[in-house]
Chains A and B, each alone.
Chain A
Amino acid sequence: MTTPILEIRNLHARIEDREILKGVNLIIPPGEVHAVMGRNGSGKSTLSYVLAGKEDYEITEGEVLLDGENLLDMEPDERAAAGLFLAFQYPIEIPGVATMTFLKAAMNAQRKARGEGELSTPDFMRAVKAAGTDLNIDTDMLKRPLNVGFSGGEKKRAEVLQMALLQPKMCILDETDSGLDIDALQVVSKGVNALRNAGRSMLVITHYQRLLNHIVPDVVHVFSDGKIVESGDKSLALQLEAKGYADFDTAAA
């Protein structure tokens, strides 16, 4: 059997005294796109932060393997270099740091961590230009400070641009549809779909079925009260949209 790209085993996490993840189990084989749906406050975003290594959470039980490697032992930058990418629900604004400067630093840091040489400036510019064209990102936007004054759509397109440039094995998209109008949603989804391939897996976190019309998942999981309570194919998302989350709360109880 091939090694899954992501394997989460009985993951428990808390913030201060409050347990938020209460035994998450999830296996994502290479090339698959899994969706996690759940209502606000069910712990979906916590799952994404815990996987990316945000400090605020304490892992009390369980383990996570990224392509067979123990993810929880790594610092956030090491996780990124190992191939994990989190597209933030609310990308952070960094004043005084030009987007272009940041992109180059990120790409070179990951290359360095993997023992590869630095990108030359022309190679970097070519890569940025190629990836940016599909996402309607021009060089003017990249000269601006990272995410500062970007519209909701620009922020999400910039996240997908980073994903395209960093070529991760495992992409986590946290509420990528939030703050997007229909047109922006199409551009972003197209960008994400272009990155789907046999070796790359994705975890799409959302509470609307809408996004899943554009990024069609292989598997849908229902998240409730800190764990996965139901899994199925994409029809599960439609079922949720029709009936709401209430039925699954009982299933969890």
Chain B
Amino acid sequence: MAVSFPVRLGPAENTLIEQLKSVGADATAERIAVAGLPTRRVEAYHYTDLKTLLRAVPPMVDGSATLELALKAGPLPLQVAGAHHIAITNGLVPSDLSAPSGVTVGRAQGGVLSTRDDILVHLNGALAKQSLALTIERSLDQVIQIDHRIEGEAAHVADALKIFVADGAAATIVEVFSGSEVAHVGNHATYVALGKGANLTHVTVDLSAKASSHFATNEYHLAEDAQLRTLVIHAGAGLSRTHLFPRYEGAGAHGNITGMNLVADGQHADITMDAAHAVPHTTSQPLFKSIARGRGKAVVQGRLVVARDAQKTDAKLMSQGLMLSDEAEILSKPELEIYADDVVCGHGSTCGKLDEDSMFYLMSRGIPQAEAETMLVRGFIEEVLDPIEDEALSEALHMVVDGWLLGK
């Protein structure tokens, strides 16, 4: 190429280049050296300018002390009663894995494959040392909870998870992200494939320390009649972004892709979805809710792409924001990209503060202002939490919301 526009690299980019080179990922290193981290000029990162937001990247995690750190770590911030736990501490998958009956669990070296051309995906692919693989062979009653923890000194951690749900099987899997209160950078990838008629509820909850940055990429492939419910909750890291890639690849496949950004002062949370309806007769109902207080900033980008052949697609995308302070910021960008001509697709976006008439109504019954506000906020979120069928999980997620409301 004859012409190049040099990009001024910051400390975060220089660290990433070094880390990539040390594992031989020269192509990705080169890409960052040339283009830098994505800025707002890159559409997918328009509201989450990584170059500005990610100022520094800590050293790659040192795995040698992991076991010791895991033993010293405090209690988990979220525990689904009766769940089967699998811990991934500092990116390392334990060797003595156990699983409920009906599940095969395994450990592999390296990350999970993804064809997504995205810098965070490339970073994860290059830097994840190990991945956990779960194969759900038949329907499970027990919730599987995967505890991703980053403990000890500030570290850059990449880990990966692969989930296969066999034809007709059903499962509920919860991933919880947490760790010590320092400036970690976590980069997680989850690759999910659902067989014919399979049914999966996949919940990811970020409860990392506010000093840390949390990135996750979740890719879903749905075969015929597969039913997927996802729920992303951002309620921890100072900077969080989850990028969802659901692909509807078999007739009758349906996805309830949902998410919740809960942000306060100094937090930036981003849920971005790129959904592909690839074949005829698939349906989806993405629903995202953001609540911002203080100077918190929440971002929702949702894109539905309907392929030329994907006739009779029925997809409705909704993003709703609730601003609890004058300084709060909520950015919402729903997009439809439709190549088929016989579809029912729609998108909507609303944003506002608490409804004054509703506040007055509750207060006129004797409910004090603060309690009335909490009630309305809970009510706003309930549409996302209510469909979670497992009672213990539902209770745990309500506690996350209540914890956030109490300012934890």
- Do A and B associate with each other? yes
Binding site for B on A (CB under 8 A): 52-55, 75-77, 79-81, 85-86, 88, 91-92, 94-97, 101-102, 105-106, 109-110, 113, 145, 162, 166
**B364 CB contacts on chain A under 8 angstroms:** 52-53, 76-77, 79-80, 85-86
Q: How far is the CA of A74 from the CA of B358 in the complex (A)?
A: 19
Instruction: Across the interface, name the chain B residue whose C-beta is closest to A106.
Output: B365
Tell whether A102 pairs with B383 under 8 Å between CB atoms, given A86-B364, A109-B368: no
Q: How far is the CA of A26 from the CA of B181 in the complex (A)?
A: 63
Q: Are A96 and B367 in contact (CB under 8 A)?
A: no
**B62 CB contacts on chain A under 8 angstroms:** none
Q: Are B363 and A92 in contact (CB under 8 A)?
A: no
Q: Are A55 and B360 in contact (CB under 8 A)?
A: yes
**A110 CB contacts on chain B under 8 angstroms:** 365-366
Q: Are A75 and B371 in contact (CB under 8 A)?
A: no
Task: Write the nearest CB–CB distance from A25 to chain B, whole angstroms.
Answer: 24
**A76 CB contacts on chain B under 8 angstroms:** 360, 363-364
Contact among B363, B366, B368, B375 with A97 in the assembled complex (CB-CB below 8 Å): B375
Task: Write the nearest CB–CB distance from B205 to chain A, whole angstroms.
Answer: 20
**A53 CB contacts on chain B under 8 angstroms:** 360, 363-364
Q: Are A97 and B365 in contact (CB under 8 A)?
A: no
Q: Is B85's CB within 8 Å of the partner chain A?
A: no
Q: Are B382 and A94 in contact (CB under 8 A)?
A: no
The A/B interface has a contact count, at CB < 8 Å, of: 83
Q: Are B362 and A94 in contact (CB under 8 A)?
A: yes
Q: How far is the CA of A80 from the CA of B363 in the complex (A)?
A: 8
Contact among A55, A88, A95, A109 with B379 in the assembled complex (CB-CB below 8 Å): A95
Q: Mark B358-386, 1 if CB is under 8 A from A, else 0.
A: 10111111111101100110111111001
Q: Are A75 and B365 in contact (CB under 8 A)?
A: no
Tell whether A94 pairs with B361 under 8 Å between CB atoms, given A105-B371, A109-B371: yes
Task: Write the nearest CB–CB distance from A83 to chain B, whole angstroms.
Answer: 10
Task: Write the nearest CB–CB distance from A215 to chain B, whole angstroms.
Answer: 21
Task: Write the nearest CB–CB distance from A92 to chain B, whole angstroms.
Answer: 4
Q: Are B379 and A106 in contact (CB under 8 A)?
A: no
Chain B's interface: helix, strand, loop or mixed, by majority? Answer: helix
Task: Write the nearest CB–CB distance from B376 to chain A, whole angstroms.
Answer: 7
Q: Which of A85, A88, A94, A145 has the most CB of B within 10 A?
A: A94
Binding site for A on B (CB under 8 A): 355-358, 360-369, 371-372, 375-376, 378-383, 386
Top 3 closest pairs, chain A to chain B, by CB: A96-B379, A96-B382, A80-B366
**A85 CB contacts on chain B under 8 angstroms:** 364
**B356 CB contacts on chain A under 8 angstroms:** 55
Q: How far is the CA of A50 from the CA of B354 in the complex (A)?
A: 21
**B382 CB contacts on chain A under 8 angstroms:** 95-97
Task: Write the nearest CB–CB distance from A202 to chain B, whole angstroms.
Answer: 16
Beyond A55-B356, A97-B378: 10 further Cβ-contacts under 8 Å? A55-B360, A76-B363, A80-B366, A92-B358, A94-B376, A95-B383, A96-B378, A106-B365, A113-B368, A145-B379
Task: Write the nearest CB–CB distance from B288 to chain A, whole angstroms.
Answer: 16
Instruction: Across the interface, name the chain B residue whose C-beta is closest to A88.
Output: B361
Q: How far is the CA of A204 from the CA of B358 in the complex (A)?
A: 23
Task: Write the nearest CB–CB distance from A146 to chain B, whole angstroms.
Answer: 9
Q: How far is the CA of A75 from the CA of B362 in the complex (A)?
A: 12
Instruction: Across the interface, name the chain B residue whose C-beta is closest to A111.
Output: B366
Contact among A52, A102, A113 with B375 in the assembled complex (CB-CB below 8 Å): A102
Q: How far is the CA of A77 from the CA of B368 in the complex (A)?
A: 6
Instruction: Across the interface, name the chain A residue whose C-beta is closest to B372.
Output: A77
Q: How far is the CA of A105 from the CA of B356 in the complex (A)?
A: 19
- A to B CB contacts below 8 Å, 25 in the list: A52-B360, A53-B364, A75-B369, A76-B364, A77-B366, A79-B364, A80-B363, A80-B364, A81-B366, A85-B364, A91-B361, A94-B358, A95-B379, A95-B380, A96-B380, A97-B375, A97-B378, A105-B375, A106-B362, A106-B365, A106-B366, A110-B365, A145-B379, A166-B365, A166-B366
Task: Write the nearest CB–CB distance from B206 to chain A, whole angstroms.
Answer: 23
Instruction: Across the interface, name the chain B residue whose C-beta is closest to A95.
Output: B379
**A113 CB contacts on chain B under 8 angstroms:** 366, 368
Q: Which of B364, B371, B378, B382 has the most CB of A within 10 A?
A: B364
Q: How far is the CA of A79 from the CA of B364 in the complex (A)?
A: 7
Q: Are B362 and A102 in contact (CB under 8 A)?
A: yes
Q: Which of A85, A96, A162 has the most CB of B within 10 A?
A: A96
**B358 CB contacts on chain A under 8 angstroms:** 92, 94
Q: Are A97 and B379 in contact (CB under 8 A)?
A: yes
Instruction: Across the interface, name the chain B residue whose C-beta is closest to A92.
Output: B361
Q: Are A109 and B360 in contact (CB under 8 A)?
A: no
**A94 CB contacts on chain B under 8 angstroms:** 358, 361-362, 375-376, 379
Q: How far is the CA of A200 from the CA of B371 in the complex (A)?
A: 28
Task: Write the nearest CB–CB distance from A106 to chain B, whole angstroms.
Answer: 4
Q: Are A109 and B376 in contact (CB under 8 A)?
A: no
Contact among A77, A80, A86, A95 with B369 in the assembled complex (CB-CB below 8 Å): A77
Contact among B363, B376, B381, B386 with A77 in the assembled complex (CB-CB below 8 Å): B363
Task: Write the nearest CB–CB distance from B404 to chain A, whole angstroms.
Answer: 16
Q: How far is the CA of A110 from the CA of B365 in the complex (A)?
A: 8
Task: Write the nearest CB–CB distance from B369 to chain A, whole angstroms.
Answer: 7
Task: Write the nearest CB–CB distance from A181 to chain B, whole angstroms.
Answer: 24
**A97 CB contacts on chain B under 8 angstroms:** 375-376, 378-379, 382
